[in-house]
Chains A and B, each alone.
Chain A
Amino acid sequence: MSFINYSSREINCKIVYYGPGLCGKTTNLQYIYKRMTPEARGKMISLATETERTLFFDFLPLSLGEVRGFKTRFHLYTVPGQVFYDASRRLILRGVDGVVFCADSQLTRVDANVESMENLQVNLRDQGYNPDKIPLVLQYNKRDLPNVASVAELHALLNHRNVPEFESSASTGIGVFETLKSVIKLILIDLKKGSR
Chain B
Amino acid sequence: MWNGFFFFGGAYGIFLPMTQGHFILREREYEAFLAVLRKLLLDSYAKVAFLVDKNGTLMASAGATAEFDTTSLASLAAGNIAATGGLANLIGEKEFSILFHEGERDNMHLSVVADRLILVVIFDRRSSVGLVRLRVRRASEELARILVAVAEAATAGQGVIEDLTEADIESLFK
A interface residues (Cβ-Cβ under 8 A, vs B): 1-8, 11-12, 14, 42-43, 45, 47, 56-57, 59, 61, 64-65, 67-68, 70, 72, 75, 87-88, 90-92, 94-95, 127-129, 181, 184-185, 188-189, 191-192, 194, 196
**Contact for A42 among B27, B54, B69, CB less than 8 A:** B69
- Establish whether residues A128 and B159, one from each chain, have CB atoms under 8 Å apart when the complex forms: no
The CA-CA distance from A88 to B31 in the complex, in Å, is 34
A127 to B86, CA, bound (A): 13
Report the separation of the CA atoms of residues A47 and B80 in the bound assembly, to the nearest whole angstrom: 12
Residues of B within 8 A of A184 (CB): 172
Judged by a CB distance under 8 angstroms, whether B171 is at the interface is yes
Those 6 A-B pairs whose CB atoms lie nearest each other, nearest first: A95-B55, A7-B30, A91-B82, A128-B19, A67-B168, A3-B23
| A181 and B173 contact, Cβ closer than 8 Å, known pairs A6-B25, A7-B26, A70-B160 | yes
**Inside 8 A of B30's CB, which chain A residues have their CB?**
5-8
Compute how far the CA of A11 lies from the CA of B27 in the bound complex, rounded to whole angstroms: 14
Q: Which residue of B lies closest to A69 (CB)?
A: B160
CA distance A143 to B26 in the complex (A): 46
Q: Is the CB of B172 within 8 A of A192?
A: no
Partner of A196, one of B21, B162, B172: B21
Identify 21 residue pairs between A and B in the complex whose beta-carbon atoms are under 8 Å apart, listed by A's number: A2-B22, A2-B161, A4-B23, A4-B24, A4-B25, A4-B159, A4-B161, A6-B160, A7-B26, A11-B160, A47-B79, A56-B79, A59-B56, A61-B71, A67-B164, A88-B83, A91-B85, A94-B82, A95-B55, A181-B173, A194-B161
Q: Which residue of A lies closest to B158 (CB)?
A: A6
Q: Which of B154-174 contact A (CB under 8 A)?
A: 159-164, 168-169, 171-173
Starting from the known contacts A3-B25, A72-B172, A95-B55, 15 additional A-B residue pairs (CB-CB under 8 Å) come to A2-B23, A6-B26, A7-B25, A7-B31, A61-B71, A61-B72, A70-B160, A75-B56, A87-B86, A88-B83, A91-B86, A95-B53, A95-B56, A128-B17, A192-B161
Shortest Cβ gap from B88 to chain A (Å): 12
Q: Which chain A residues border B72 with CB–CB below 8 Å?
A: 42-43, 45, 59, 61
User: What chain A residues lie within 8 Å of B21 (beta carbons)?
Assistant: 1, 194, 196
- Smallest Cβ distance from A56 to chain B, in angstroms? 6
**Which residues on the A side are within 8 Å of B159 (C-beta)?**
4
* Cα A112 to Cα B6 with chains together (Å): 41
Most chain B beta-carbon contacts within 10 A, residue among A2, A64, A184: A2
Q: Which secondary structure dominates where chain B touches chain A?
A: mixed
Cβ–Cβ contact B69 & A1, under 8 A = no
Shortest C-beta distance, B117 to chain A (Å), equals 11
A95 contacts which of B31, B54, B76 (Cβ < 8 Å)? B54
Chain A residue numbers with a CB within 8 Å of B169 are: 67, 185, 188-189
Most buried by A among B22, B31, B54: B22
Measured in the bound complex, the distance between the Cα atoms of B27 and A103 in whole Å is: 42
Tell whether, in the assembled complex, residue B83 and residue A1 are in contact, meaning their CB atoms are under 8 Å apart: no
Which residues in chain B, 19-68, are within 8 Å of chain A measured between CB atoms?
19-27, 30-31, 53-57, 59
Task: For the complex formed, measure the closest distance between the CB of A3 and the CB atoms of chain B, giving whole angstroms.
Answer: 5
* A144: min CB distance to chain B, Å: 25
